[in-house]
Amino acid sequence: MFKRMLRNLTRPAHRPVKMLPVVACVPGVDVWFLRFAFAFLAHLQQGGHVVDRLSGKCVGNPAGPSFNFDHMSGGPLLWAPDLAPSRHLFIGHTVCPGFDRISSQFDWWASTPFSAPGYDYLHDGINYGHVPVDLAPHAFVSVSVGDVDAAAWTRAGQRMVLVYGDPIQHAVGCFANLRNQVRPARGQPGEPPPMDWTFHEYLLKRALPSYAKMFISYQAMAQAAPGAVHIVPEDALRAEPARILSSLLSHLKLDRWQSSPIDVVADLSRREHIMAIERELGRSLTGSRGGRRKVAGSVQETVAWAARDPNLRREALSSLASMGVDAGYFREAPVARSLRGDAAATGGV
């Protein structure tokens, strides 16, 4: 019987995924908060429970199964049969589905490489017949990326979300990662290696073009397919996690959730609680959290100071605008912009 169960966990699902709600993040955004929030919500909707390690409170059905953290490895797909009609969600980094149809409108887009691997999971040319799934009775599922791209134009249920951070802070984190690489990245022919670049050079030549390449895909699709894309600043998610999570669920048309546990799910997903679970388990659940804090803390003070320079910020926003990115997403206080966006979506002022 154990061998039969093991085979079930390692086999792929039979039906390929042709529609896939997407919750995407610009690299550097805390994607694990979103993964845990949606995972906890999906588990509770299936009649399970989660014990708050800080308060001792049992959330959900005490008689139901407890949350199995061994089945959370980072996806990027999440099994959510009682939330999404597609039964799967994508949570990670990817260019907006459907954008390939209009990418030629931006003459710089195809010729501009991302500064590092991992920005575009759904279009990187990996084996999409074997995509890992968290919390599922199957370990893998086949994803028809072409059908998902087409669904962004033809199916109302194909919704996308982008959670974005500040582009300057994104650049600081990427620059720190670059400086901490064991094997330094190579430069393009005729230019010095990136390790020798100043932060200013890296910002304009690598970080901002990569940021713009991902961001513009969602901005353009939001304009080309009205109602399909919801763009949310990470600052708003940090300030009001329950309200923003509720707005994401509403946009994604995940209408099978109960509104009452949103506050609790947001609380369970906060970093302090996940760290308490990690201490209990004696291992990291996310891998990147501690590493990201260590890397960010190693950035030279001169780089941190440069990132706060208002002149550099103006130059950076001007660079983004030259690539078609609406710099208004970054000039205004993120929470205020999110509140205004939600009001417009609901018919408010």
Residue 195 maps to a domain: no
| pLDDT for residue 3 | 40
DSSP element (H, E) containing 343: helix 334-345
Taking only the tens place, the pLDDT of each residue in 273-289 is 999 999 999 999 887 54
Q: Is the pLDDT of residue 177 over 80?
A: no
Kindly report which listed range (76-85, 182-191, 243-252, 262-271) carries the lowest average pLDDT score. Answer: 182-191
Mean pLDDT of 326-330: 93
Q: Is the pLDDT of residue 336 over 50?
A: no
Residue 140 maps to a domain: yes
Residue 174 maps to a domain: no
β pairing state of 131-134 and 88-92: unpaired
For the chain, what percent of residues have pLDDT higher than 70?
80
Give the strands of the sheet with 22-25, arranged side by side.
140-141, 131-134, 77-79, 88-92, 22-25, 160-164, 229-233
Residue 19 maps to a domain: yes
> pTM for the complete prediction?
0.86
Mean pLDDT of 322-340: 70
Rounded Cα–Cα distance for residues 76 and 92 (Å): 6
For the chain, what percent of residues have pLDDT higher than 90?
61
Range of the domain at 150: 2-167+217-284+328-345
Taking only the tens place, the pLDDT of each residue in 66-94 is 999 999 988 899 998 877 788 999 999 99
| pLDDT for residue 189 | 58
| pLDDT for residue 335 | 44
Residue 275 maps to a domain: yes
Residue 6 maps to a domain: yes
Kindly report which listed range (28-37, 43-52, 194-203, 227-236) carries the lowest average pLDDT score. Answer: 194-203
Give how many domains the chain has, as a whole number.
1
Kindly report which listed range (38-42, 83-87, 337-341) carries the lowest average pLDDT score. Answer: 337-341
Do residues 207 and 115 touch, judged by C-beta distance below 8 A? yes
Residue 197 maps to a domain: no
Q: How many CB atoms lie within 10 A of CB 47?
A: 12
Residue 242 maps to a domain: yes
